[in-house]
């Protein structure tokens, strides 16, 4: 290899020494060692030409050098060399002698001016859109030659294309898919590519692209083109420009283009302009452009899709973003870029932005959905792209999408819509800021990019779009509509046709029922009512709030939330009518998590049946027609149902059927008896002029009290079942009512239907009037032996009764009534002959004035069987005589008796307060016949004067109460006589008179009236328990206290003399056994009687001591004699109070027995007449005992504490001093009493400011 500076120059021949002969130059080499080749050996020589400095300016600048090596030796020569010059490689040289040519042909050489410097710059954008034309390289050529030297030209351009990610060379097909053409432009001088002013100097179209295996595309430029001419010392700038195909974005994500202008690469081909030989470059660089083909600009449009409100916990869209990929088929897909910005404000002004706290209080999350293609947001159907927790910066929520996700990719030549939605929190509506607006400015808030290379794709410019102001409202309510209409409605009737249940599914607050729209038709489908039709049919249309039972009952459901009167009814052409309700009406509000039922109600006009259109129906569609609001904002509704009411026909009337139980109160009927079980009152509620209605049929359900009777069971009980029309008094009386229908024999079943004669005036009811009917049964003579023998009848007034329009026999709706079942009745046989036995029941023959006691006993005996009816005492005759036997007159009886009564005995055969009164004849009602008799009549069907078989025998007592002055009457004595055979006994069911069985008569002992005895009532007043001893009451040594209170009452008449309280006898016990005399005397110093001052409370100060016993007069049984003075004299009709007291001895607490009670029996006290001092009997009382047991105790000690701390108040360490002096004094002075001892002493230590010291302190 020739190396100029290292190889040795051994011979030089200047231009002037070269002598060409026929182009051949002969050089004579010097004979030097450098030219000698030692054998064996090899030497290499270089023939080097040094081009003349001005050769580039010569007209002839090309040559070829040929060297011929003479292979044949000539005399005197061992080697002959010749150099032949020619103007080109085809020059022929004649040799003599001929020589063989060995490697003789040299390279074609052109002498040119110095090659230029090449600078290549990357001018490509990072991305190129489909169809876009732009420069990717700038090529700057700087000539290095001299002025006037040979010129060059730009002959070709090579560009290497590779895959940016893998580095692999691109194939021809890929390059053809990328570029529609590649061009080279000559710059117009502004150093920037401008297709309008720059000059295109070369073009290669896609079909001509040929890329070698290294990814190199060679673009040959036109020869001798002036714009490609390069002066030897001039400059030129060119641009390599590509035009992308309209599908280039679908070819490859990113490619690299490279131009290597280095001296060894020759990507920029520079040739000699004349000879077209490649001359290379003096210096050059390499430049690489990295380009991402992207689709053409997309179109983005934002739309407001928000409603007025969104419910708590609901998710709904607020904005829709439609993105259109404008590329053609085969171009690249685009996708939503890695951000979407949504600005949230409180209002439509856009400045009052939400904070993150606001957003998180309102939104559970913000979401983006891809539309399924119908353009409407449908939750659960549209595809969720993602959800984001609210994190707002200056009110803006940034949303990032997943790269290359199919959910956000838009293919070429297609459009996709995306919904921005929010899901509200459970209590968003209750948040202070419950309104919001969302804003998207697509120019800055939305970005799309090539889905392959994530290069942002441009899009159209738009204005910001805000959604409507959205208010967070409570959760979507649910509306359920139900058909409740009747097939017929009577004139003037008022009934519901549709039920609307509004459920508030929110826990945040109440919602409000604002309006309802119903469509009114004649047939429930296609024929709307006209306004005239509606005004002729309806008096008014209402909406009522249900009272909670789920059914419309006019009497109960009284809260009307809206109505429209007949004259104000105005239907739209489709029959619709809107009823709006009062804003803020509590009856229209449904509380959180609650539900409320409403009824659409019609009131039929009184003359509606005369109108040509007599049918109607109402339809409510739950989503379109009910208007439900939250804070006056209309809420959307959850899916419910549509409902159309039953087609209703207006009939003349809307009657009322009232059913009443009229079965026998006793619940019994006798074989063969006829009785009504139910009463039906049918009221025609129509106006005058309305058609009559008629009772068409009646279905009765016959049961045994619970289970429906079979036909056989019913036929065994009943001979006939009938319906009678009442004669007008409202009470069934056999023989006075009109029979309108009946069934007998096998026609009787457990559910018989009695059909009445059509057109019978007895079953017709005039408008505005009522008719009464009785359902009546007649028992068979053997009904009491049937099984079962119990029965009842049930009628439901609105389902078992069929009432028709008299004119057309069309059924008429009946106002709703409850089913009524009669009392259960048992069939009984005719009772056998009862016994009536009477005997004397008088005890004492002398009764006090006002005394009440029995005279005679009446024993009634049922002598039949278990299936027979009870017997009933209807009346009894009493004969009254004086004690001497004379017949009493009416006035004498009234003077003796305050009243005469009969009592049902309670079972002890003597009168007392627990007996049941069955008859009462007051003083003025006592009327005796001339024979001294008086009939006492008993209440019919009174169970207390009936004797069922199960009772066997019942005893009744004839009782009288004497008047207050009976003893002063003449006569003052009497007897009563009853003959059992004169007693009227009846069948309790039928009131048929029964023959008597065994009877007897009796006369009472003669009773004489006397003044009433006094009463002595004793009451416990002993001291109660104390906290010291919760078992016993206490009296302290030497103290006085009361144990018993005594009330003495004079029960005489005003004319009686006063009584005197004379003696009291008291017994003392220890709570279990009687005290001995010694024990009593050991305890008590005195036992006394005090006269009460009038307040019934004992006081030693205000009460008067009237008697005392001491010493040996005190004993186990102590009698106290009382003085005859003003304190002990008691006037008639008055009472006085006294206290038994004891004073304990000073040593009572040391007695062997310290416990005691006092017992006084009022019967053992003595009361005398003041005038005669005769002793009265005392009305019996129970003994009274003082309780709890009293205990004698010592008097309480006293404890005094005095300060005795040292003065001054200091102590030294280790010093002992007294601080307090405690003085304890025994409460007793008697030395014989027990000592007391100090049991405990508690001291509290505090510091100088009063704070308790701690244990450690």
- Asked whether residue 1232 is assigned to any structural domain, the reply reads no
The average pLDDT across 76-89 equals 39
Decide if pLDDT at 94 tops 60. Answer: no
Output the average pLDDT for the chain.
88
Q: What is the per-residue pLDDT across 303-329, written as a single tens digit (0 to 9) for each?
A: 999 988 888 888 999 999 999 999 999
Q: How far apart are the first and last CA of the chain?
A: 114
Cα torsion 353, 355, 361, 367: sign: positive
| Residue 1097 CB partners (closer than 8 Å, separation 6+) | none
* Count of the separate structural domains present in the chain: 7
The single-letter DSSP state of residue 1185 is E
633 plus 688 within the same structural domain: no
646 plus 664 within the same structural domain: no
- Amino acid 67: pLDDT: 65
- Amino acid 789: pLDDT: 95
DSSP, residue by residue, 1057-1068: PPEEEEEEEEEE
375 plus 453 within the same structural domain: yes
Radius of gyration of the chain (CA): 67
Checking DSSP bridges between strand 790-796 and strand 825-828, what pairing results, if any? antiparallel
- Asked whether residue 1250 is assigned to any structural domain, the reply reads no
Decide if pLDDT at 1026 tops 80. Answer: no
Domain finish residue from 263, 294, 325: 294
325 plus 408 within the same structural domain: yes
Decide if pLDDT at 1031 tops 70. Answer: no
- Asked whether residue 1227 is assigned to any structural domain, the reply reads no
pLDDT category of residue 624 using cuts at 50, 70 and 90: very low
1131 plus 1155 within the same structural domain: yes
**1072 in the Ramachandran plot: left (φ > 0), alpha (ψ -120 to 50) or beta?**
alpha
What residues make up the domain containing 992?
835-1010
- Asked whether residue 1108 is assigned to any structural domain, the reply reads yes
Decide if pLDDT at 974 tops 70. Answer: yes
The average pLDDT across 374-381 equals 93
Decide if pLDDT at 1138 tops 50. Answer: yes
CB-count burial class (<10 Å; 0-12, 13-18, 19+) for 700? buried
CATH of the domain at 191: 2.60.40
268 plus 131 within the same structural domain: yes
1168 plus 1189 within the same structural domain: yes
Decide if pLDDT at 1107 tops 70. Answer: yes
Q: What is the per-residue pLDDT across 119-167, written as a single tens digit (0 to 9) for each?
A: 999 999 999 999 999 999 999 999 988 877 788 999 999 999 999 999 9
Decide if pLDDT at 596 tops 70. Answer: yes
Domain finish residue from 828, 863, 878: 828
pLDDT category of residue 639 using cuts at 50, 70 and 90: low
- Asked whether residue 1208 is assigned to any structural domain, the reply reads no
The average pLDDT across 979-992 equals 93
Q: What is the per-residue pLDDT across 411-452, written as a single tens digit (0 to 9) for each?
A: 999 999 999 999 999 888 888 889 999 999 888 888 888 888
Distance CA 911, CA 957 (A): 7
229 plus 286 within the same structural domain: yes
Distance CA 6, CA 663 (A): 150
Distance CA 320, CA 876 (A): 101
- Amino acid 689: pLDDT: 64
950 plus 1061 within the same structural domain: no
pLDDT category of residue 840 using cuts at 50, 70 and 90: very high
757 plus 802 within the same structural domain: yes
Instruction: Assign 3-class secondary structure to 628-649.
Output: EEECCEECCCECCCEEECCCEE
Distance CA 1004, CA 883 (A): 10
474 versus 1217: which is more confidently predicted? 1217
1174 plus 1032 within the same structural domain: yes
- Asked whether residue 1217 is assigned to any structural domain, the reply reads no
- Asked whether residue 1238 is assigned to any structural domain, the reply reads no
What pTM does this model have?
0.46
* Cβ atoms of residues 629 and 524 within 8 Å: no
610 plus 724 within the same structural domain: no
Domain finish residue from 651, 681, 702: 651
Decide if pLDDT at 621 tops 70. Answer: yes
Decide if pLDDT at 35 tops 90. Answer: no
- Asked whether residue 1251 is assigned to any structural domain, the reply reads no
- Amino acid 999: pLDDT: 95
């Amino acid at each position: 290899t020739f190396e100029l500076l290292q190889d040795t120059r051994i011979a030089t021949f200047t231009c002037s020494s070269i002598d060409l002969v026929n182009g051949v130059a002969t050089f004579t080499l010097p004979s030097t060692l450098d030219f000698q080749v030692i054998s064996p050996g090899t030497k290499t020589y270089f023939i080097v030409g040094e081009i003349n400095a001005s050769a580039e300016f010569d007209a002839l600048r090309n040559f070829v050098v040929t060297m011929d090596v003479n292979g044949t030796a000539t005399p005197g020569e061992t080697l002959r060399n010749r150099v032949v010059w020619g103007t080109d490689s085809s020059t022929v040289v004649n040799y003599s002698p001929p020589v063989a040519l060995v490697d003789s042909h040299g390279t074609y050489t052109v002498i040119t001016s110095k090659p230029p410097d090449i600078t290549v710059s990357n001018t490509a954008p990072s991305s190129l859109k489909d169809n876009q034309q732009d420069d990717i390289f700038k090529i700057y050529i700087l000539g290095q030659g001299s002025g006037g030297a040979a010129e060059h030209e730009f002959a070709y351009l090579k560009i290497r294309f590779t895959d940016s990610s893998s580095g692999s060379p691109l194939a021809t097909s890929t390059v053809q898919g990328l570029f529609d053409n590649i061009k080279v432009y000559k710059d117009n001088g502004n150093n920037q590519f401008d297709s309008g002013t720059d000059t295109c100097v070369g073009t290669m179209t896609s079909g001509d692209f040929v890329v070698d295996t290294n990814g190199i595309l060679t673009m040959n430029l036109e020869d001798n083109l002036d714009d490609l001419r390069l002066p030897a010392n001039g400059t030129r700038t060119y641009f390599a420009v590509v035009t992308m195909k309209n599908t280039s974005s679908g070819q490859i994500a990113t490619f690299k283009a490279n131009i290597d202008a280095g001296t060894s690469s020759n990507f920029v081909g520079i040739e000699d302009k004349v000879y077209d030989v490649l001359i290379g470059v003096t210096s050059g660089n390499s430049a690489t452009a990295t380009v991402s083909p992207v689709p053409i600009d997309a179109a983005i449009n934002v739309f407001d899709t928000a409603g007025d409100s969104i419910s708590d916990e609901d998710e709904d869209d607020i904005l829709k973003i439609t993105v259109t990929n404008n590329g053609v088929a085969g171009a690249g897909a685009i996708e939503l870029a890695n951000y979407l910005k949504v600005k949230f404000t409180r209002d439509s002004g856009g400045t009052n932005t939400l904070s993150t706290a606001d957003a998180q209080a309102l939104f559970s999350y913000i979401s983006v959905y891809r539309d399924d293609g119908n353009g409407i947001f449908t939750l659960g159907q549209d595809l969720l792209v993602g959800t984001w927790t609210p994190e707002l910066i200056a009110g803006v929520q940034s949303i990032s999408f997943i790269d290359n996700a199919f959910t956000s990719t838009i293919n070429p030549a297609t459009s996709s819509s995306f919904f921005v939605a929010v899901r509200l929190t459970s209590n968003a509506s209750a948040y202070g800021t419950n309104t919001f607006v969302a804003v998207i400015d697509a120019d800055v808030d939305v970005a799309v990019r090539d889905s392959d290379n994530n290069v942002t794709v441009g899009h159209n410019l738009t204005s910001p779009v805000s959604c409507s102001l959205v208010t967070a409202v409570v959760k979507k309510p649910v509306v359920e509509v139900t058909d409740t209409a009747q097939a017929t409605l009577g004139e003037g009737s008022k009934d519901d046709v549709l039920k609307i249940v509004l459920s508030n599914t929110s826990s945040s607050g109440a919602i409000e029922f604002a309006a309802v729209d119903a469509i009114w038709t004649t047939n429930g489908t296609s024929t709307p009512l006209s306004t005239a039709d509606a005004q002729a049919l309806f008096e008014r249309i209402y909406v009522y709030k249900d009272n909670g039972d789920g059914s419309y009952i006019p009497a109960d459901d009284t809260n009307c939330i809206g109505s429209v009167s007949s004259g104000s009814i105005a239907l739209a052409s489709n029959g619709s009518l809107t009823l709006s309700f009062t804003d803020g009406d509590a009856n229209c509000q449904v509380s959180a998590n609650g539900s409320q039922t409403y009824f659409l109600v019609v009131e039929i006009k009184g003359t509606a049946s005369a109108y040509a259109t007599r049918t109607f129906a109402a339809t409510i569609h739950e989503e379109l027609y009910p208007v439900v609001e939250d804070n006056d904002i209309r809420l959307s509704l959850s899916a419910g149902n549509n409902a159309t009411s039953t087609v209703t026909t207006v009939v003349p009337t809307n009657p009322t059927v009232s059913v009443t139980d009229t079965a026998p109160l006793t619940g019994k009927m006798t074989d063969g008896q006829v009785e009504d079980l139910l009463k039906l009152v049918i009221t025609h509620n129509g106006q005058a002029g309305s058609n009559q209605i008629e009772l068409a049929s009646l279905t009765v359900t016959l049961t045994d009290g619970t289970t429906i009777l079979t036909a056989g069971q019913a036929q065994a009980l009943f001979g006939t079942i009938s319906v009678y029309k009442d004669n007008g008094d409202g009470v069934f009386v056999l023989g006075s009512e009109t029979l309108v229908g009946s069934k007998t024999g096998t026609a009787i079943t457990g559910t018989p239907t009695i059909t009445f004669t059509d057109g019978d005036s007895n079953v017709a009811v005039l408008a505005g009037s009522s008719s009464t009917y009785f359902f009546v049964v007649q028992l068979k003579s053997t009904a009491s032996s049937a099984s079962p023998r119990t029965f009842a009848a049930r009628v439901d007034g609105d389902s078992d009764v069929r009432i028709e329009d008299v004119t057309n026999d069309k059924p008429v709706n009946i106002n709703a009534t409850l089913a009524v079942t009669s009392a259960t009745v048992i069939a009984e046989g005719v009772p056998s002959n009862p016994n009536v036995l009477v005997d004397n029941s008088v005890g004492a023959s002398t009764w006090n004035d006002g005394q009440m006691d029995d005279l005679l006993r009446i024993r009634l005996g049922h002598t039949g069987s278990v299936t027979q009816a009870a017997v009933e005492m209807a009346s009894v005759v009493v004969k009254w005589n004086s004690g001497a036997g004379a017949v009493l007159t009416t006035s004498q009886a009234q003077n003796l008796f305050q009243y005469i009564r009969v009592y049902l005995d309670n079972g002890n055969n003597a009168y007392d307060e627990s007996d049941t009164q069955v008859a009462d004849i007051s003083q003025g009602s006592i009327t005796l016949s001339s024979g001294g008799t008086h009939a006492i009549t008993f209440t019919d069907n009174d169970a207390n004067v009936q004797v069922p078989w199960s009772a066997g025998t019942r005893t009744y007592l004839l009782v009288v109460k004497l008047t207050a002055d009976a003893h002063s009457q003449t006569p003052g004595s009497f007897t009563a006589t009853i003959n059992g055979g004169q007693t009227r006994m009846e069948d309790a069911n039928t009131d048929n008179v029964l023959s008597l069985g065994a009877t007897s008569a009796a006369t009472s002992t003669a009773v004489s009236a006397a003044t009433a005895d006094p009463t002595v009532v004793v009451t416990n007043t002993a001291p109660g328990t104390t906290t010291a001893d919760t078992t016993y009451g206490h009296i302290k040594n030497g103290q006085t206290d009361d144990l018993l209170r005594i009330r003495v009452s004079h029960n005489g008449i005003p004319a009686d003399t006063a009584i005197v309280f004379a003696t009291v006898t008291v017994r003392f016990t220890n709570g279990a056994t009687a005290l001995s005399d010694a024990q009593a005397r050991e305890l008590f110093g005195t036992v006394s009687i005090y006269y009460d001052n009038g307040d019934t409370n004992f006081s030693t100060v205000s009460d008067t001591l009237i008697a005392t016993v001491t010493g040996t007069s005190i004993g186990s049984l102590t009698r106290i004699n009382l003085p005859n003075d003003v304190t002990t004299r008691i006037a008639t009709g008055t009472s006085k109070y006294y206290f038994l007291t004891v004073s304990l001895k000073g040593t009572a607490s040391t007695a062997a027995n310290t416990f005691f009670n006092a017992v006084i029996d009022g019967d053992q006290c003595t009361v005398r007449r003041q005038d005669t001092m005769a002793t009265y009997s005392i009305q019996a009382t129970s003994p009274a005992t003082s309780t709890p047991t009293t205990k004698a105790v010592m008097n309480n000690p006293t404890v005094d504490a005095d300060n005795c701390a040292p003065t001054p108040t200091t102590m030294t360490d280790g010093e002992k001093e007294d601080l307090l002096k405690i003085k304890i004094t025994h409460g007793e002075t008697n030395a014989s009493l027990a000592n007391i001892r100090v049991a405990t002493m508690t001291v509290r230590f505090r510091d100088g400011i009063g704070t308790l010291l701690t244990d450690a302190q």
